[in-house]
Chain A
Amino acid sequence: MKILSSVIALMFILFSSPSMAVDPAAKRVEMKLNYAETVIMKSKSAERVRQSDNEEAKGMLKEAEANYEKARQALEDEEFAEAENLANEALKTVTIAAQKVPNKEEKLKADRARYEELYQQVLSYKSWNTENPELVKDANLDMDAIMAEVDTAHKESQDDNYDAANKRLETLLNDIVSKTNKAIGDKTIAYTLNFETPEEEFEYELKRNDEYARLLVVAIEQKDPSAGIRMLMGKFEEKALGFRGEADKMAEDEEFADAVTKLQESTEEYLKALKIAGVR
């Protein structure tokens, strides 16, 4: 009896396994169709389209549903490529339909964010233009007119009229950018490292030193160096911290030029530690 059941089990494994194995293409299409089903039949965006009075979007949703059904049929007929194409088409159509009926709350949120973005950009350009008068003099930007437009947009935004506010700011920004572009076309701005005071240079080196110290921690975590390398890195770090301490002391005594040199020595030690960890 035992032998018989073993033979049956073996035959089951031998003969049933191949037919039970799932074709990867079929599996992929099945997953995609399940996803399409969720988006087309059960998602909030599709429901929003159904409830809307946007006939065009509703028509597109119906088209997506029809393509989804055809895709299911194609999958059953083992026409995987056809099924996948139809599923893609259905997903694409439902996405466009959903875009045609935006969620009011989400739209308001997105519009607000866009308003902030545009507002900051206009102000950034304004301050950049103010700081580089020589570079942008040919742009002939009327700053008063720009600010008047910004104020109008602000008032519109306070009434939640973001469509108008954003349109106004976009037009304004495009005008500023294109005029600035024409003025600076193929020019180059050079940022040198000529610091006005040793204190300024100290601040620059201090930041650099802090960032290399931070990088060391990340390098150890990600490169996972051997114990020997870690020990060596520790020694470099110790030296770096020593130099840093000296630099801090010098800075306290306002000996910034010497402090800069010490900070650079400290950063060099971090660089050595990083190099042996494989960060080059």
Chain B
Amino acid sequence: MRTIIAVMIAGMATGLFLSGSVIAADAAAQPSQANSFNRLLKPQPKKNPPPTEDGIHDVENPGTEVLMPPQTAFESMEKSKHGNYVDWVASLNKGMINPRWDRLDPTQTPIVMDLNIVREVKGSMPDVVYPHAQHTAWLDCSNCHPDIFIPAKGANQINMAAILLGEKCGVCHGKVAFPIKTSTCRICHSKPKENFKLERSQASQQ
């Protein structure tokens, strides 16, 4: 039931917004392979294009015209410089959005898990800090575990290629959450390595 949140987030990416209402299930369009493209590699020519121009929705479908354009939906939200130009975490923290936690029970509230995972990475790049708190504020455990991340030590080998291919963190990041760009590296790679010194080359020492 809580997976409704994931569906809603997918809707944010694809512009599946209806002005003040939700599509009744049996009248909903089922876009196929809506997220098979990869925005990480292919920037969109227009910032948050309307559903009729986003290349995802069926322009022949009259329902497409009914969808609220993302630019209108995102207008009042906290801005970011990346992806769909919305700072979702800030918008959530400021109460600009209030994701429904349970489809049937409006009184249900999320159980936020405050556990940071630090992942060591090779080379000089700072290690990655994954904060559960920001994610569990609106995602159910089942959105990520165990299908995307197996909750066991050493079971999840993550690398940038996999993320750029839309796997692991890339299931959301680059589609609905901030994308992987040179300007966003430090959001995740935020823990400088202890005792790491950049060695000067022989040439620079001369």
Please report the C-alpha to C-alpha distance between residue A106 and residue B165 in the assembled complex, in whole angstroms. Answer: 33
Please report the C-alpha to C-alpha distance between residue A28 and residue B122 in the assembled complex, in whole angstroms. Answer: 53
Decide yes or no whether B76 CB sits under 8 A from chain A: no
Task: Please tell me if the beta carbons of A95 and B23 are within 8 angstroms of each other in the complex.
Answer: yes
Which residues in B have their C-beta under 8 angstroms from that of A191?
117-120, 153-154
Q: Contact string, A117-161, partner B, CB cutoff 8 A, digits 1/0?
A: 110110011011001100000000000000000000000000000
**B159 closest partner in A (C-beta):** A208
Decide yes or no whether B41 CB sits under 8 A from chain A: yes
Which residues in B have their C-beta under 8 angstroms from that of A99?
104
Which residues in B have their C-beta under 8 angstroms from that of A39?
23-24, 27
Decide yes or no whether A177 CB sits under 8 A from chain B: yes
Q: Contact string, B43-63, partner A, CB cutoff 8 A, digits 1/0?
A: 000000000000000000011
Decide yes or no whether A263 CB sits under 8 A from chain B: no
Smallest beta-carbon distance B103→chain A, Å: 8
Task: Please tell me if the beta carbons of B118 and A280 are within 8 angstroms of each other in the complex.
Answer: no
Which one of B66, B153, B165 has the greatest number of beta carbons of chain A within 10 Å? B66
Task: Please tell me if the beta carbons of A279 and B41 are within 8 angstroms of each other in the complex.
Answer: yes
Report B62-119 residues with CB < 8 Å from chain A CB: 62-63, 65-66, 104, 111-119
Partner-binding segment picked from A6-14, A214-222, A228-236, A247-255: A214-222
Q: Contact string, A91-102, partner B, CB cutoff 8 A, digits 1/0?
A: 110110011000
Answer whether A117 and B26 are a contact pair too, CB < 8 Å, given A124-B146, A215-B165, A222-B38: no
Task: Please tell me if the beta carbons of B157 and A45 are within 8 angstroms of each other in the complex.
Answer: no
Partner-binding segment picked from B14-22, B171-179, B196-204: B14-22
Interface residues on A, range: 35 or more
Task: Please tell me if the beta carbons of B62 and A121 are within 8 angstroms of each other in the complex.
Answer: no
Task: From the candidates A34, A98, A173, name the one contacting B24 in the complex (CB within 8 A).
Answer: A98
Answer whether A218 and B165 are a contact pair too, CB < 8 Å, given A34-B62, A38-B27, A177-B141: yes
Task: From the candidates A110, A177, A190, A280, name the one contacting B120 in the complex (CB within 8 A).
Answer: A190
Which residues in B have their C-beta under 8 angstroms from that of A32?
19, 65-66
**A34 closest partner in B (C-beta):** B62
Q: Contact string, A3-35, partner B, CB cutoff 8 A, digits 1/0?
A: 000000000000000000000000110011011
Which residues in A have their C-beta under 8 angstroms from that of B141?
121, 124-125, 173, 177
Decide yes or no whether B35 CB sits under 8 A from chain A: no
Task: Please tell me if the beta carbons of B115 and A187 are within 8 angstroms of each other in the complex.
Answer: yes
Please report the C-alpha to C-alpha distance between residue A215 and residue B63 in the assembled complex, in whole angstroms. Answer: 35
Task: Please tell me if the beta carbons of B113 and A181 are within 8 angstroms of each other in the complex.
Answer: yes
Question: Can you name 7 extra interface pairs (CB under 8 A) apart from A43-B27, A189-B116?
Answer: A95-B21, A117-B3, A125-B141, A127-B152, A131-B153, A177-B113, A211-B161
Query: What would be 29 A-B contacts, judged by CB atoms less than 8 Å apart?
Result: A35-B62, A88-B21, A95-B21, A95-B23, A98-B25, A120-B142, A121-B145, A124-B141, A127-B152, A128-B151, A174-B111, A178-B111, A180-B113, A181-B111, A181-B114, A187-B115, A188-B118, A189-B116, A189-B117, A190-B120, A191-B117, A191-B154, A193-B122, A207-B157, A207-B159, A211-B159, A215-B164, A218-B165, A222-B37
Give B residues with C-beta under 8 Å from A.
1, 3, 18-27, 37-38, 41-42, 62-63, 65-66, 104, 111-122, 141-142, 145-146, 151-154, 157, 159, 161-162, 164-165, 182
Give A residues with C-beta under 8 Å from B.
27-28, 31-32, 34-35, 38-39, 43-46, 84, 88-89, 91-92, 94-95, 98-99, 106, 110, 114, 117-118, 120-121, 124-125, 127-128, 131-132, 173-174, 177-178, 180-181, 184-193, 204, 207-208, 211-212, 214-215, 218-219, 222-223, 270, 279-280
